[in-house]
Amino acid sequence: MTSWQPGSPCYRSTGPGNHVDLSREGVSDDMLLAGFAASDPRLSMAFVRRFQRVVFGIAVGVVGDTGMAEHISQQAFKRARWCADAYDPRRSGVRTWLIRLTHNLAVDAVRIRRVAPAESAEMHRLHGSLAGLPAEQARAVVMAVVHGMTVGEIADIEEIPLGTAKSRIRAGMSKVHSALPAQCEDYE
């Protein structure tokens, strides 16, 4: 049975034949985290449903392997349950906190794996293009393109206004795009 079907723990009955997916209802992220930490089955399922895509997206973006990303995603949710009491809503939102937790786990997994990166001319050109950007633009581009983060998530993590995050991504992408064709002409 999939988690969005009636009868699953993340549904709440609103009358005969009517069920509401708590992960999509107006239940706050903080409330879902509290229920998840307390092992409440319905709130736990709703918490996982609400954040599973972003957690998996961050993990696969960092490690580049879906199998390993699934494992990291499971570890991220376990860690979130264990560390929920350390969550401080004054520092960040639940989503941002969970993204950081997942990212850190994924980076640790990559470090442990220590697979040597493929040495290719394209990767060197891309790294060179990113290295030529101001640090804040390079971070914004990597978070958006590699990690699949939204502009809102980037703004939260960087603690900057939404418009500034958009500008950094746009300017960085423009510079990378204009730098890469010039470097690729050497091989044509």
What is the value of pTM for the model shown?
0.52
With beta carbons less than 8 A apart as the criterion, state whether 127 and 149 touch: no
Query: What's the confidence (pLDDT) of residue 77?
Result: 96
94 φ, ψ to 5°? -60, -45
Secondary structure class of 125 (helix, strand, coil): helix
12 φ, ψ to 5°? -125, 135
Secondary structure class of 14 (helix, strand, coil): strand
Query: What's the confidence (pLDDT) of residue 9?
Result: 41
Residue with structure tokens 């930490």? 37
Low-confidence ranges of the chain (pLDDT < 50): 1-19, 115-116, 182-188
4 φ, ψ to 5°? -95, 5
Element (H, E) at 19: strand 18-21
CA-to-CA distance for 180 and 123, rounded, in angstroms? 11
CA-to-CA distance for 136 and 160, rounded, in angstroms? 11
What the block records as the tokens of 114 is: 């220590």
Query: What's the confidence (pLDDT) of residue 95?
Result: 95
Cβ neighbours around 148 below 10 Å, total = 15
Query: What's the confidence (pLDDT) of residue 112?
Result: 76
Domains and CATH numbers, the chain: 11-113 (1.10.1740.10), 121-187 (1.10.10.10)
CA-to-CA distance for 139 and 123, rounded, in angstroms? 17
What the block records as the tokens of 33 is: 């985290």
